[in-house]
Structure 1
Amino acid sequence: MEQGRGRQGFKHAQKYPFNEDKNARHKASAKKFLSVQARQSRIKNRIRFCRHQTMETKIYINGKILPEGKAVVSVFDRGLNYGDGLFETIKTYNGKPAFLNDHLRRLKSGAAFIGIRPSLLKQFERDIKLKIIEKLLRENGLEKGSAYIKIIITRGVDKGGHAPVKGIKPTVIIFVKPLSAKKILLIQKKGVKAVLVKGVLPAMPELKTMNYLPSVLAKMEAVKRGVFEGIFVNKRGFITEGSSTNIFIFSKGVLKTPPSRETALPGVTRKIIIELAIKAGLKVRQCNITERYLFECGEAFLTNSISDVLPLIKVGSKTLGTGKPGAITRLMQEAYAREVAKRLDALFGGIKHQTSVA
């Protein structure tokens, strides 16, 4: 009898090695469940994206929501003729814009700097308070998942020359489009590569203006090299920013980023990361960063409002750190995800959001 039981036990052990039959089955079931969930999520995202591509997008323009075919601007608009305007890009989570107030503050500050009076933006501000962005997302079927918002303000229509004529009204445009949360999470986990771009620099890096040609050229160079981002190097040999990102390096126990204003755009995500890093007890320094400092750093990451925090693992032919996302980068990703969740919950309550790379 004992031998029989032993043989049965041996067969049982062969079927479920290490006597972990229940754990193995539970893990297999959980893996299968998560796999089914992932497939369903991918299918939903694909349907959502295809539906948005085939339907006529609704656009907010000067106080009205119109089909894209009717949402037109004059050929004399100064944004088209001179790049005379500003913009903001914002990420949404299930129909709710993240850090909206921070973006609006920067937009209004930029508008004041270039001479667009606050009184000329009263309708836009009123519509924002009436949740025009949430309405626009619903009308475009983007109230679920992640979406991209772009707000554009130009000085307006003007048939004159370089100097704007008096009395013109700004053109205000908001459009939305779907984002692939899966693709963003993938690059957040694996990290991205970049190339240094020299000889081209944003004219006014302290403002998010429509004069975006340097960034377009930097991104074109990145695409040509098969990498994610182009990082500007100024005439003094200092790293400034990416075509659409701010850059951080961690070296000798200090988190460093190029100074904003004259060197780099004061990014909303950049600002939040600096605050979170200080709160986490890290030393943070805004200082000039040379190519040598970049290549010798322990780790680096990029930030922007759409991709959040991206590990930077290689620049040109140089591997940064271990060539994998570092511990500080992961710390900042997790802290940023929690901050997004906290702020959305504080403003809207009960919002589900996929913000973590874990």
Structure 2
Amino acid sequence: MAGKDVSTMKISPKVWKNGEFIDWNDAKIHVMSHVVNYGSSVFEGIRCYQTSKGSAVFRLTEHMQRLINSGKIYRMDSGYSRQQLCDATVELIGQSGLDHCYIRPIVFRGLDEASPAFGVNPFPNPIDTYIAVWQWGKYLGEEALEAGIDVCVSSWTRITSNAMPSMAKAGANYMNSQLIKMEALLGGFSEGIALDDRGMVSEGSGENIFLVNNGKLITPPLGASVLPGITRDSVIQIARELGIEIVETNIQRAALYLADEVFFTGTAAEITPIRAIDRIEIGEGRRGPVTKQLQDEFFKIIDATRPAPAGADWLTFVNKTDEAVAA
């Protein structure tokens, strides 16, 4: 259950910090930083893929906008524009020597060592912005995209939006996610599904969730303490283009067991089918046809072999020559 040792992973030799490139091993903070003690951070998870036309970041602009939105909710302005963050990411990947990677931008409250403040009040503390990249494989396992995974409904309730805003991708929110994930792993499952405070389906520990019933695609609304996922939005747009009816509605726990298909979406999880929930087989106990259809179209877009819905520009190429060829 231990995480993969970073020494066995390919990492970028550089990290972007507050407008400068520093060595990976120098990307360190003080133990008394506000973020360490009080969890004051917002972050993103983004993927760069090796496409048929060169390395490209998937929906970089949307991810950076969500980072800025999360910071706004927590009054944590990095001081960098969306375009500056996008440009820094592309430059960092270019320097990394990696043709595909996972990208972690993070904005947090640090420590002013000349005039330290150790209380809950965040305002006296400086705001730092970092971007790191490394190679990361399939989050839920190499076989999961086809074979599917077994999950459970968690005993832990998803955080409520008026206590910890679910529209923000904040580090502190993921303490709730860790409880959900640990319980699932210790129970022999790959992942957990959290219910909201009304007992309605919310999301996984780090993924949005979709059901398929009678050809319709069903997902909880954002009001169910759901993070507005970028992959969630991508799947909705792809499904709409394919003529699949989309229903955003509250979902009872029992409806999970009766669905024809269930799958997770997320930057790390991509589109991962769920074959059983609480050891109850979903549909035929394997990846369903709608899930596969959505996967196929999703990965074609990622591979730059088909355009995004409505001609949207979902790929930011690391090499501008590749971008020109793709266009």
TM value normalised by structure 2: 0.81
Quick one: percent identity of the two aligned structures?
A: 26
Contact 1:84 1:209 survives alignment (8 Å): yes
CA distance in 1, matches of 2:117, 2:139: 45
Which amino acid letter does the alignment assign opposite residue 271 of structure 2?
A: V
For residue 67 of structure 1, what is the aligned residue in structure 2? 23
The runs of 5 or more residues in structure 1 that have no matched partner are 1-48, 352-358
CA distance in 2, matches of 1:116, 1:50: 34
3-state SS in 2 of match to 1:116:
coil
Larger Rg over CA atoms? 1
CA distance in 2, matches of 1:232, 1:184: 21
Contact 2:200 2:251 survives alignment (8 Å): yes
For residue 74 of structure 2, what is the aligned residue in structure 1? 114
| 1:45-83: CA deviation from partner (whole Å, max 9, x where unpaired) | xxxx84737xx8432222222223322223343222211
CA distance in 1, matches of 2:321, 2:147: 31
Question: Do structure 1's residue 147 and structure 2's residue 101 form an aligned pair?
Answer: yes
CA distance in 1, matches of 2:132, 2:222: 28
3-state SS in 2 of match to 1:265:
coil
Task: Decide whether aligned partners of structure 1 residues 115 and 302 sit closer, same or farther in structure 2, where only a CA change above 3 A counts.
Answer: same
Contact 1:257 1:286 survives alignment (8 Å): yes
**Count of residue pairs brought into register by the alignment:** 295
3-state SS in 2 of match to 1:69:
helix
> Which one of the candidate residues 200, 204, 208 is aligned to 1:246?
208
| 1:230-270: CA deviation from partner (whole Å, max 9, x where unpaired) | 11023322110000100000113321111114521110000
CA distance in 2, matches of 1:344, 1:295: 34
> Which one of the candidate residues 274, 288, 291 is aligned to 2:236?
274
Task: Decide whether aligned partners of structure 1 residues 250 and 262 sit closer, same or farther in structure 2, where only a CA change above 3 A counts.
Answer: closer
Deviation of 1:290 after TM superposition, in Å, equals: 1.1
* Deviating more after overlay: 205-214 vs 172-181: 172-181
| 1:303-354: CA deviation from partner (whole Å, max 9, x where unpaired) | 0012311111111211101101001101111121233323466755747xxx
> Which one of the candidate residues 310, 313, 316 is aligned to 2:278?
316
Deviation of 1:292 after TM superposition, in Å, equals: 1.1
Which amino acid letter does the alignment assign opposite residue 104 of structure 1?
A: M
Contact 2:196 2:224 survives alignment (8 Å): no
Please state which structure has a larger fraction of its residues in helix: 1
| 1:5-40: CA deviation from partner (whole Å, max 9, x where unpaired) | xxxxxxxxxxxxxxxxxxxxxxxxxxxxxxxxxxxx
* Deviating more after overlay: 156-165 vs 253-262: 156-165
CA-atom RMSD in angstroms: 2.6
Task: Decide whether aligned partners of structure 1 residues 185 and 59 sit closer, same or farther in structure 2, where only a CA change above 3 A counts.
Answer: same
1:1-358 aligned at under 5 Å gives the runs: 50=8, 52=10, 57-94=13-50, 95-117=55-77, 120-122=78-80, 125=82, 127-129=84-86, 131-142=87-98, 144=99, 146-157=100-111, 159-165=117-123, 168-180=125-137, 186-202=143-159, 203-211=164-172, 212-340=174-302, 341=304, 342=307, 343=313, 350=322
